Amino acid sequence: MTQIIADKYNKKVICGLQIHKNNKMEEYKYKNETYSIIGAAIEVHKELGGGFLEAVYQEALEEEFLFRKIPYQREQQLKIFYKGKELSKYYIADFVCYEKNNCGT
């Protein structure tokens, strides 16, 4: 199962819009969902500004997801694969939104 993942470190949303280094966007599936996630994050930043610890922004983003009725799960463990082999370590995503059964490309 693949999910749409909001990831502040990689600055991309899997199966959504991928922002490249040259600031061009490629269109993928789930464009509307991607825009709603980014819109929620922008709203949180507009409301709070900068200077708070990450936990404050996570709580505010969760409130914004609830307000916008964006389905999400908090701190979900995701498997990591290297050259087709599952690693023993896993990634913990802050939020997994719009869980989907198949991303495709």
Please indicate, yes or no, if residue 58 is contained in any of the structural domains: yes
How many structural domains is the chain composed of?
A: 1
Detail the DSSP E strand segments found in 1-105: 2-7, 12-13, 18-19, 25-26, 72-82, 85-100
DSSP state of 17: P
Please indicate, yes or no, if residue 44 is contained in any of the structural domains: yes
Domain of 94 in residue numbering reads as 2-100
Please indicate, yes or no, if residue 37 is contained in any of the structural domains: yes
Model-level pTM?
A: 0.68
Please indicate, yes or no, if residue 54 is contained in any of the structural domains: yes
pLDDT digits (tens), the chain, 105 positions:
344 555 544 444 444 444 445 555 555 677 889 899 999 999 999 999 999 999 999 999 999 999 999 999 999 898 999 999 999 999 998 999 988 644 443
Residues 50 and 67: their CA atoms lie apart, in Å, by 21
Q: Which position has the token pair 């599936």?
A: 29
Please indicate, yes or no, if residue 40 is contained in any of the structural domains: yes
Please indicate, yes or no, if residue 105 is contained in any of the structural domains: no
